[in-house]
């Protein structure tokens, strides 16, 4: 008799679990009552992967394992799957920063497209032995392109990616979808809007602005600052992915969003206000008497900068009852508090000491 898939007991291969969303997802599911399965974190530890993001996961003993490896390496992927009896793959691993994709697209093509292909092939092999094997692909709203002043992206919006990053994510989405149609692999895809929260690498808008503000450095706003993003607290994204793994319909795509559209300039001003209440500029010597908002500096625009993103998440709400649980004000305050309380994490990134630790502990074989 064919096996059925139960996420609560699964052996889950999480790729890219040392990054921002992947690490939050691992903490989220391991801490959840009702999840008795196991997590295997397969991460290459690029500049964006930080083993410190999983500090605390050791307490789960044999229910958590880390494998340093590349999703583009079929041998490594298959060995990790076999060793840990994997029957569920959640693919977070990616090159994720749009600006980097503009300056150097090659690694985006490699990891985001070829890496997804390697994972799908490995999953197809597992699927021959266990047809219930599940594959969830984590993707972005950027595959849909740019919106005018009205409307929101639905799951039926045609793909129109505009940056090397979004084009590579769109390609991987198509591959995942093709493996469902062609081979009957049990896949789900989620396309999510901009995340923010603890452990985000300080190249992305919110953590970059927090760190610059605390050091009294300029807060660089691209172009006219009127580009709009739809912001979602990372914990809400993790909760949505878990629900999709528990109850999502295989073969389907689900949009996930915050229902929280903000112009970049307004967001940066909100952030300056949050910082004023949690770490007043008057008490920060680096500010030399200035308010955080006085650091805002308009700079040259990002090439091909998408104007507006907004997500219609009514499908996941209707089918699975999901809603974002955090308001933007709550999420932003928690985020600022996290960065204020984790100066060692920040210092390790700035001085690169975690890379030395990483090379010592995870030397390539
Ligand atoms: P991130 O850059 O913080 O983390 C990416 C992780 O992937 C890192 O730990 C890195 O070491 C790992 N990685 C990179 N290349 C690898 C490879 N070849 N093999 C194995 N591991 C590799 O990214 P993030 O912001 O956490 O995004 C995670 C996923 O979510 C990505 O697929 C991204 O496209 C998607 N997404 C992100 C957002 C967002 O706002 N950050 C929104 C929607 C979707
Ligand atoms: O210094 C900055 N100044 C600025 O004005 C930076 C880093 C960004 N911006 C703008 C560009 C965007 O309009 O802020 C907005 C957000 O920028 P990013 O944080 O770089 O995110 P974005 O390009 O929107 O992409 C993010 O959301 C979708 C993630 O990086 C992607 O991985 C995800 O798919």
Q: How far is the CA of 225 from the centre of ligand 2 (A)?
A: 12
Q: Answer whether 264's CB lies under 8 Å from 219's CB.
A: no
| 3 is a domain residue | no
Ligand 2 centre and the CA of 206: distance in Å?
A: 9
Q: Indicate if the pLDDT at residue 295 is higher than 60.
A: yes
Distance, CA of 279 to CA of 274 (rounded, Å): 8
Whether ligand 1 lies within 6 angstroms of the CB of 48 is answered as yes
Residue 333 domain-assigned? no
Which residues' Cβ are closer than 6 Å to ligand 2?
96-98, 140, 142, 194, 204-205, 208, 220-222, 227, 229, 264, 302
**DSSP character for 332?**
H
Task: Report DSSP state, residue 17.
Answer: T
Is residue 289 situated within a structural domain?
Answer: no
Q: What percent of the chain has pLDDT over 90?
A: 93
What is the total count of domains within the chain? 1
Within 10 Å of residue 285's Cβ, how many Cβ atoms? 7
CB 214 within 8 A of CB 177: no
Residue to substitute in 203, 222, 234 for testing ligand 2 pocket (most ligand atoms within 8 angstroms of CB) = 222
83: helix, strand or coil: helix
* Distance from residue 328's CA to the centre of ligand 2 (Å): 17
Q: 106 C-alpha vs ligand 2 centroid, how far in Å? A: 20
Is residue 268 in a domain?
A: no
| Residue 2 pLDDT | 58
- CATH number, domain of 145, equals 3.40.50.720
Catalytic option among 43, 141, 235, 239: 141
Q: Is 141 a catalytic residue?
A: yes
| Closest-approaching ligand to the CA atom of 70 | 1
Catalytic site residue 142?
yes
Q: Considering Cα of 102, then 105, then 107, then 111, what sign does the dihedral take?
A: positive
Q: Whose CA is nearest to atom 3 of ligand 2?
A: 221
142, 173, 261, 306: which is the annotated catalytic residue?
142
> What pLDDT, on the 0 to 100 scale, is given for residue 365?
40
Is 358:55 a contact under the CB 8 Å cutoff? no
User: For residue 227, is it within any domain?
Assistant: no
On whether residue 55 sits in a domain, the answer given is yes
C-alpha 264/C-alpha 228 separation (Å) is 6
Asked if residue 363 has pLDDT above 70, the reply is no
User: What global pTM score does this model have?
Assistant: 0.97
pLDDT score, position 222: 97
Identify the domain containing residue 71 by its residue range: 8-197+233-257+307-326+353-361
The string of pLDDT tens digits covering residues 75-134 is: 999 999 999 999 999 999 999 999 999 999 999 999 999 999 999 999 999 999 999 999
Q: Which ligand is nearest to the CA of 54?
A: 1
Quick check: is 156 in a domain?
A: yes
Q: Is residue 319 part of a domain?
A: yes
Residues 203-246: tens digit of each pLDDT: 999 999 999 999 999 999 999 999 999 999 999 999 999 999 99
- Atom 28 (ligand 2) nearest CA: 194
């Amino acid at each position: 008799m064919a096996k059925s898939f139960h996420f609560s007991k699964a052996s889950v291969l999480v790729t890219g679990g040392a990054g921002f969303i992947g690490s939050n997802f691992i903490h989220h599911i391991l801490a959840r009552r009702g999840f008795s399965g196991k997590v295997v974190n397969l991460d290459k530890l690029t500049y964006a992967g930080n083993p410190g993001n999983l500090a605390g996961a050791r307490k789960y003993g044999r229910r958590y394992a880390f494998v340093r490896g590349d999703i583009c390496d079929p041998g490594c992927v298959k060995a990790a799957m076999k060793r840990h009896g994997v029957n569920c793959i959640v693919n977070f691993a990616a090159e994720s920063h749009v600006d980097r994709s503009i300056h150097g697209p090659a690694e985006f093509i490699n990891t985001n497209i070829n890496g997804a292909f390697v994972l799908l092939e490995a999953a197809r092999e597992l699927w021959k032995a266990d047809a219930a094997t599940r594959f969830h692909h984590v993707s972005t709203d950027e595959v849909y392109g740019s919106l005018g002043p009205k409307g929101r992206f639905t799951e039926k919006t045609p793909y129109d990616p505009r940056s090397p990053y979004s084009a590579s994510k769109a390609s991987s989405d198509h591959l995942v979808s093709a493996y469902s149609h062609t081979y009957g692999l049990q896949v789900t895809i989620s396309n999510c809007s901009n995340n923010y929260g603890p452990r985000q690498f300080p190249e992305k808008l919110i953590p970059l602005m927090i760190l610059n503000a605390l050091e009294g450095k300029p807060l660089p706003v691209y172009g006219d600052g009127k580009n709009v993003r739809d912001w979602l607290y990372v914990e809400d994204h993790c909760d949505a992915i878990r629900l999709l793994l528990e109850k999502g319909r295989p073969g389907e795509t689900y949009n996930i969003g915050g229902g929280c559209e903000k112009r970049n300039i307004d967001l940066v001003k909100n952030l300056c206000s949050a910082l004023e209440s949690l770490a007043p500029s008057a008490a920060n010597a680096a500010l030399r008497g200035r308010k955080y908002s006085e650091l805002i500096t308009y700079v040259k625009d990002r090439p091909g900068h998408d104007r507006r993103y907004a997500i219609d998440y009514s499908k996941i709400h209707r089918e699975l009852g999901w809603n974002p649980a955090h308001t933007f004000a709550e999420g932003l305050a928690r985020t600022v508090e996290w960065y204020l309380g984790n100066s060692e994490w920040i210092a390790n990134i700035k001085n690169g000491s975690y890379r030395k630790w990483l090379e010592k502990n995870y030397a390539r074989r």
